[in-house]
Amino acid sequence: MEKRIRDIKDRCLEKEDPFCASACPFRLDVREFIGRMQRGAFNSAFRLFSNTVGFPAIVAALCDQPCRNVCPRGRVDAPISLNLLEKAAIAYAANTGPNSYNLPPKQGRIAVIGAGISGLACALRLASKKYAVDVYERSGRVGGALWNVLDSAVFLEDIRLQFSNEEYGLFLDHPVLDIGPLLEKYDGVYIATGSGGDSFGLGREAGPDEGIPFATSLPGVFLGGSLTGATLMEALSQGLKASLCIEDFLKTGEMRSAKKNNPTRMRLAPGAIVFTHAVLPASGEQYSKEEAAAEASRCIRCRCDACIRHCGLMSYFKKFPGRIAEEVQITVTPGTLDGDGTVATRLIATCSQCGLCGEVCPENIDMGEFLRAGHQAMHEKGAMPWAFHEFWLRDMAFANSSRASFSAPPPSGEKCTSVFFPGCQLGASDPRYVSESFRFLLGLEPGTGLTIGCCGAPALWAGDMALFRKVCETLLENWRQAGCPRMILACPTCLEMFSRYLPEIDCVLLYDVLAGAGRPSPERGDGTVVSVFDPCAARNRETSQQAVRSLLREAGFSLAALPYEGKIAQCCSYGGQINIAAPKYSRWLAEKRSKDGEHPYIVYCSNCRDVFLQAGKPVRHILDVFFGLNGESAGPPAYDERRKRREKLKEDLVRKYWPELEEPGKEGAMDSRNVLTIPPDVREKMNGDRLLEEDALAVIEQCEASGRRVLDPATGHCLGYGEIGYMTQWVEYAPSPEGYVLFNTYAHRMKIELE
């Protein structure tokens, strides 16, 4: 876990500088500068610029804009005119004077050799921090190489203005021939003697990873500027950095060169830039305030944010991978013994683990895998609330119990060459999806057997690896007993589980088989436009994606692409079974996914189908089209109905194909003769709360058997509770001739501890 967290933090590019700032000698915080310019905050934009560059007028006049060459807008329309924006900040800021800092004088005397722009920058920063600074210049004027490139009125005025609040010693016509005497008098020295100037025999002592100015072999002596071959802007920036190196030396006694500017590793998400025209100054030279704000608004303030743009979880909770990794770290390994600070428990249980983040991330960081590992760690510690997954684990237990699950050889008695494994939810969604598919597969290949059950995904999603492995072992054993046949799977999640955890089993998706059968669909789409909503578990199954599309085209449907499909398919919200831990987010996600496309969806995952039915989105399963079922969108099946359908499916299939397998009794089944009558409004409420009819009846019968119940004389109803798994379920009921009438039922997670 620790290693994974470090890996995410190292690889995540969220905190990388934008391209412009990376190319800028001053590493101007362009994102912040642009933000201030966008809202017309010229004063604060100017202050940021001025504080970063030291001499704003000189930099605005001379900057050769390396940012323009790297601005990604340059490849779409035109790079941002940062230099014109800097000039606008200077022009429209109300106060362009330097700040005056009322600080006490500091210990430490510093000599600067050379009054060029690099030496002056170093002197300015140190003087403003109230160190005693003396500048030695061999000529009779300040400015050095600036005289060759810029109107002296501009730079002399900027130098005068920036030093106007500071005191420092300036010694013109004062060449330094020997550095020795300076070392006796001063605690630190910055050598900035300009291009071709004297380096006093001091070579570069810094390592290749260190930047300029660099620490020389003499304590307290640093060297930088045009002397090292730097351009004027680089020289200025090095002077600013030299002040930090010297101050670092004064405080710690360590000789450390400036840090090298490493190029940014930033990557932009595809499609991040939309074409806009560059804003040109109407005056020809300078932006008006409005033009400056408009040009600033063209800047997208580059950030590597593909994950947060595309992932529902990260965009909803506004958390980048680094932040999530930190929160998971303190949750899984809390700093205090009582476990305080487990801030991400719910977040861990909110990820659909769909893999989209890893697909869109330039570094392929898959946060779903990471959160799955976090989930497992929390489960192992017993720190994941049982309530988040209990309902679904009970559903898995039901699906794998003899009430719904069975495994049978080919009805023809032939050697088993394939086994159809529809998974646990396909029959719950619509039993005909299973029965029709099996009938069709038998027609293609009489040696097809049938296994109905769950692949174990709910256990994996709950972080319960022991349970998951147990399910896998049973599946593997059944497969071996069947003679290691090919498995035909209907659920893309099952395929994901099988290919990853049971790689020895040869699997194929049902839809590939249907597309290869060459049988026309009974339906004619007649050009009806639909969109295929690829399930997230099939993002790497291009053959299956194409199989479904070819089935639809052959049936006469027209296809409209969705923004997210194929490789970048999104989860419908079912993945991870997050809807108990995060009901609001889960609903938000399902609604968002429903609105991705305006046309009806065709899905090939029954969970996608049921999620979209619940969200009111017109949707059909590809099996509806292939077998001519559910012409009009059916309603979403309630949880009680889902159980009943699966039980009935087993009964019907066994009766039809394997009458000899019929069992007298079933494990865990209700053998009650009582009929529970439930008014429709109560039934609807129960479904919303995931409370099952059979559990309500079991609680009533417990109450009746034990006599532990409360009577409400006003209504004549009985009230009682029972524990269903970990949950406590209450029932309000009255006896009826057939059994009972249920008037209300509700549940809580807290356990009543009877003394």
Partner 1 sequence: MEEKTKLMCGKCGVEMAPAPTQFSYLGHVFRTEVLRCPSCGQVFIPESLARGRMAEVETILEDK
Contact pattern from residue 193 through residue 232 relative to partner 1, giving x for each residue in contact according to CB under 8 A and a dash for the rest:
----------------------------------------
List the one residue out of 7, 5, 27, 25 whose CA is nearest residue 17: 27
Verify binding: residue 750, partner 1, rule CB under 8 A.
Answer: yes
Binding flag, residue 710, partner 1 (CB under 8 A)? yes
What gap in Å lies between CA 554 and CA 198, rounded to an integer? 82
Q: Which is nearer to partner 1, 223 or 349 (CB)?
A: 349
Contact with partner 1 (CB under 8 A) among 22, 193, 345, 630: 345
Region from 88-96, 529-537, 641-649, 741-749 binding partner 1, contact rule CB under 8 A: 741-749
Q: What is the DSSP string of 76-134?
A: TS----HHHHHHHHHHH-S--SPP----PPPS-EEEEE--BHHHHHHHHHHHHTT-EEE
CA distance 392 to 242: 63
| Stretch near partner 1 under the rule CB under 8 A, chosen from 183-191, 435-443, 598-606, 716-724 | 716-724
Residue 609 binds to partner 1 (criterion: CB under 8 A): no
CA distances from 518 to 511, 559, 700 (A): 12, 20, 54
- Does 740 interact with partner 1 (rule: CB under 8 A)? no
Told to check if 529 binds partner 1 by CB under 8 A, we report no
State in angstroms the smallest separation of the CB of 314 from partner 1: 19
Instruction: Please say which residue, 542 or 712, places its beta carbon nearer to partner 1.
Output: 712
Q: Which stretch binds partner 1 (CB under 8 A): 75-83, 158-166, 339-347, 499-507?
A: 339-347
Burial of 108-117, coded b for 16+ CB within 10 Å and e otherwise, reads bbbbbbbbbb
Stretch that binds partner 1, among 115-123, 268-276, 394-402, 702-710 (CB under 8 A): 702-710
Q: In whole angstroms, how close is the CB of 631 to partner 1 at the nearest point?
A: 40
Smallest distance, Å, CB 732 to partner 1? 6
Verify binding: residue 732, partner 1, rule CB under 8 A: yes
Residue 730's nearest CA partner among 704, 688, 685, 700 is 700
Of 298 and 709, the one with the shorter C-beta distance to partner 1 is 709
State the nearest-atom distance from the C-beta of 5 to partner 1, in Å: 21
Per CB under 8 A, the list member of 401, 417, 546, 744 interacting with partner 1 is 744
Separation in Å, CA 373 to CA 81, 352, 362, 680, 714? 46, 13, 22, 42, 53
| Cβ atoms of residues 332 and 25 within 8 Å | no
CB of 728 to partner 1, least distance (A): 8
- Please give the angle made by the CA atoms of 607, 609 and 615, to the nearest 5 degrees: 105
Number of chain positions touching partner 1 (CB under 8 A): 35
CB 324 within 8 Å of CB 314: yes
120 to 159, contacts with partner 1 by CB under 8 A? none
Nearer to partner 1, 33 or 743 (CB): 743
**How far is residue 557's CA from residue 526's CA, in Å, rounded to a whole number?**
6
| Rounded CA Rg of the chain | 36
Q: Which stretch binds partner 1 (CB under 8 A): 2-10, 124-132, 241-249, 335-343?
A: 335-343
Q: Is 751 in the site for partner 1 (CB under 8 A)?
A: yes
Nearest residue to 479 via CA among 465, 489, 492, 491: 489
Report which of 26, 200, 50, 27 is spatially closest to residue 111, judged by C-alpha positions: 200
Query: Per CB under 8 A, does 749 bind partner 1?
Result: yes
Using CB under 8 A as the binding rule, the residues of this chain from 357 to 416 that contact partner 1 are 385, 387-388
Q: Which one of 115-123, 178-186, 438-446, 707-715 is the stretch in contact with partner 1 (CB under 8 A)? A: 707-715
Residue among 36, 539, 646, 709 that touches partner 1 (CB under 8 A): 709
Quote the Cα angle for 115-120-122, to 5°. Answer: 130
Residues 631-690 that bind partner 1 (CB under 8 A): none
Q: How far is the CB of 677 from partner 1 (least distance, A)?
A: 18
Rule CB under 8 A: choose which of 93, 189, 625, 718 binds partner 1. Answer: 718
Q: Cα separation of 470 and 467, whole Å?
A: 5
**Minimum separation from the CB atom of position 396 to partner 1 (A):** 22
Query: Minimum Å distance from CB 711 to partner 1?
Result: 5
Candidates 719, 725, 734, 739; binder of partner 1 (CB under 8 A) is: 719
Residue from 217, 254, 711, 738 in contact with partner 1 (CB under 8 A) = 711
**Candidates 82-90, 270-278, 343-351, 358-366 — which segment interacts with partner 1 by CB under 8 A?**
343-351
Contact 96, 90 (CB under 8 A): yes
SS3 188: strand
Q: For residue 735, what are the contacts with CB-CB under 8 A and spacing of at least 6?
A: 741
Quote the CA–CA distance of 594 and 605 in Å, as a whole number.
15
Residues 592/625, Cβ–Cβ less than 8 Å: no
Closest among 340, 351, 396 to 373, alpha carbons compared = 351
| Shortest spacing between CB 76 and partner 1, in angstroms | 44
Q: Which residue has the tokens 């949750």?
A: 331
Between the alpha carbon of residue 199 and those of residues 203, 523, 527, the distances in Å are 8, 87, 80
* Tokens describing residue 518: 């060459």
Q: Given candidates 254, 712, 723, 738, which one binds partner 1 under the rule CB under 8 A?
A: 712
Please tell me whether residue 721 binds partner 1 under the rule CB under 8 A: yes
340 counts as binding partner 1 under rule CB under 8 A: yes
Strand ordering across the sheet containing 418-421: 406-408, 448-452, 418-421, 486-489, 507-509
As measured in angstroms, the least distance from the Cβ of 413 to partner 1 is 53
Cβ neighbour number for residue 423 with a 10 Å cutoff: 27
SS3 722: strand
Please say which residue, 315 or 728, places its beta carbon nearer to partner 1.
Answer: 728
Supply the minimum distance, in Å, between the C-beta of residue 64 and partner 1: 54
Nearer CB in complex with partner 1: 74/334? 334
Smallest distance from partner 1 to CB 388, Å: 8
CB of 455: closest distance to partner 1 in angstroms? 28
Tell which one of 153, 177, 337, 752 touches partner 1 (CB under 8 A).
752
Binding site for partner 1 (CB under 8 A): 339-340, 342-343, 345-346, 385, 387-388, 703, 707-714, 718-721, 730, 732, 744, 746-755
